[in-house]
Amino acid sequence: MVAPKGKEFSMTDNERRIRIGQRFITGFPEDHVTDEFRSMVKKWKIGNIILFQHNIKSRAQLKALTKELEDLVVSETGIKPFIAIDQEGGVVTRLPSDAINVPGAMALSSLRENCEEAIFRCASITAKEMLSLGCTLDFAPDCDVNNNPQNRVIGVRSYSDDPYVVAKNSSFAIKGYLSQGLVCCAKHFPGHGDTSVDSHIGLPVIEKSLEELEEVELVPFRASIEAGVPSIMTSHIAFPKIDDSGLPSTMNRTIITGILRERLGFDGLVFTDCLEMGAIKQNWGTVNGALMAFKAGVDIACISHTPSLACEACDIAFESVDDAELNESFMRIVLAKDRFLSRRIPQYNVVEREFDAAYVERIRARTLTEVHKLNPLGSFPAFVGCYPFVVTLASNPENKTACFPVAMKELFEGRTIGATAIVTSVDPTAEEIKEVCEKCHSNTSVTIGTYNGHSKPGQIALIKALEKTMACVNVVALRNPFEFSELSPSTGALAAYEYSPMIMAPIAAVLSGNACADGITRLGGVHE
C-alpha cells in the first residue's frame, strides 16, 4: 500500500475502507470464525481482532484459529492484524488450561525475593507462549494504582497501592514482553485504581486535579512510557476537575491529546477500552463513542463482542472521519505493525517450554502470603467456600473446574483421619450460615475460602459465626483479601490472589505445614 504523500494524495473507496478498518479491533462470539465476522472483514476490512475465553478451547485450537484469522485479514487488507487477548495472569487469564498461565500482578508483586526478575521472566514467558499461538498483542500490564479498597474491578490486577511499586514492577513486565517482540499495552489511562464503580457497569468519576494525578496515578504511566511501552489503553472514567465536559477519558481530547500525547510525550498507539462497556454504551452509545474517541486522539477503537456494532461504526467513520486525522493514525498503526509483526517468530521448543512451565509453578507457590498466623488443621478439618463467580465482566466466565472446599478435601485425603467439604452459596444466608456451623461442630478446624468476601456480607457473616463456634479458624482469600480487616486476631489468614486449579496444591502445602507462605502484602488496608 502506498503511503499518503501530502495534499495531492487521494484515496479510493477501498483504500479508505482499509484505513478505517485498521482503526478498529473487534471480536466474535464463537470458537471459530463465523460467517458474520468473515463478511465484516470482507466488507469493512477490519484490521485487528480481540479474543476472549469463549473463543479459546486449547492451544492447538487457538493456533489454528489465529492462523485462519491472519490469513483472512491479510487477504482482504494486505496488512497483518493485531490479534489481541487480555492475558494479565491470575484472575484475568484468556489462554487455555493447557497453556502456561502466570500469576497475576499483585501475586507476583508479593514475592519477597527476586520480585523484579520474576515479573520480567513471567512476562517473557507469557510473550513466548502467546506468540507461539499466533497472538501478537497483550492488553497488559495493568498500571493502575489500587488505592481504593472498594475497587471491585482492579484489586489484585494491580501491582500495589504504592504508585512507585506499580511503576517499577510494570516497567519490568513491559521489558519482559518486549524482550520477545510482543506488543504490550499499559492500562487504564490515566488510572482506574481509585474507583468504586466498575466501568463495565457504570461511569466512574474521580474528583482529582491534574496535580493530584501527577502524584499518584500518572507515575506508573510515565515509567511505562520511559520503558518503551508501544501502546496504552484508555479508561472510561470522568475527571471533572481536569475537564468539566463530563466526557470520560476515552473520549476526552484534554486527557488523550493534551495530557497523554503532549504532556507525557507518548507517541505510540492509543487503544480504547471496550466501547460496549456500560460507562460508554449507556451514556453515549458504542458507535458514537468510537467516533468521539477518534476525535479525542485515540488510534484504535475496541468493540469487543458485537460485529454488527463494529460494522455500523465503520460505516459512519467512513463518511465522517477527516482524511488528515485518518492518515496520521493509519501511519502510526502500520509503522507499529511493521516493527512488531514483520519479524519471524522463534520456535518455542518443548524443552524450553517445559522448563518455563516448571518455573512458573515454583513462583506461583512462593506468592502465597500469610497475613495472620495460620491455625493448625488437626485430624479432622473442614473446608468451606463457594465456587468462583464473575466478580466483574473483566473476569473469566464462571469456572466450575476449581472448587476450594472440594479440592482441599481431595488433597487432604490420606493425610488426616478425614476432611469435610462444604460448598456454600456466593452470599450465604443466615439459615445457610447456621447449617454450616452445625456441620462443622465436630471438626478440629475450619478453613474458609473467600472470593471477594469484602463485597459479600454473607461471606463475612459466615466467618464471624464460625469464629464464635470454632477454636481454630483460617481464612484463605482467593481474590482481593480486603476481608482480612474484618477478622479476629486469632483467625489465620492466607492471601492466595487467585481462584484457579493451579493454586490449590500450594495452598494445601501451606495449610498442612509442609511449605511456608512468605509473600508480602501489596494491597491497601491489608497488613501482615
Q: For CA atoms 459, 462, 468, 473, give the dihedral sign.
A: negative
Residues contacting residue 97 through CB under 8 Å, at least 6 positions apart: 401, 501
Residues pairing with 167 in the sheet: none
Bridge-based pairing of strands 492-495 and 369-372 is antiparallel
Q: Tell me how far apart the alpha carbons of residues 489 and 339 are, in angstroms, rounded to a whole number.
A: 55
From the list 131, 185, 128, the residue with the least C-alpha distance to 356 is 128
Task: Give the separation between CA 169 and CA 89, rounded to whole angstroms.
Answer: 14
Q: CB neighbours (10 Å) of residue 396?
A: 18
Number of H helices, E strands in the chain: 18, 14
CA distance 159 to 169: 7
Q: CA-to-CA distance for 471 and 341, rounded, in angstroms?
A: 59
| C-alpha triplet 430, 480, 55: angle, nearest 5° | 100
Please enumerate in sequence order all residues whose Cβ is within 8 A of that of 75, keeping only pairs 6 or more positions apart, or say none: none
Cell of 323: 482524511
Which residues participate in catalysis according to the annotation? 200, 273
**Where does residue 526 fall: left (phi above 0), alpha (psi -120 to 50 degrees), or beta otherwise?**
beta
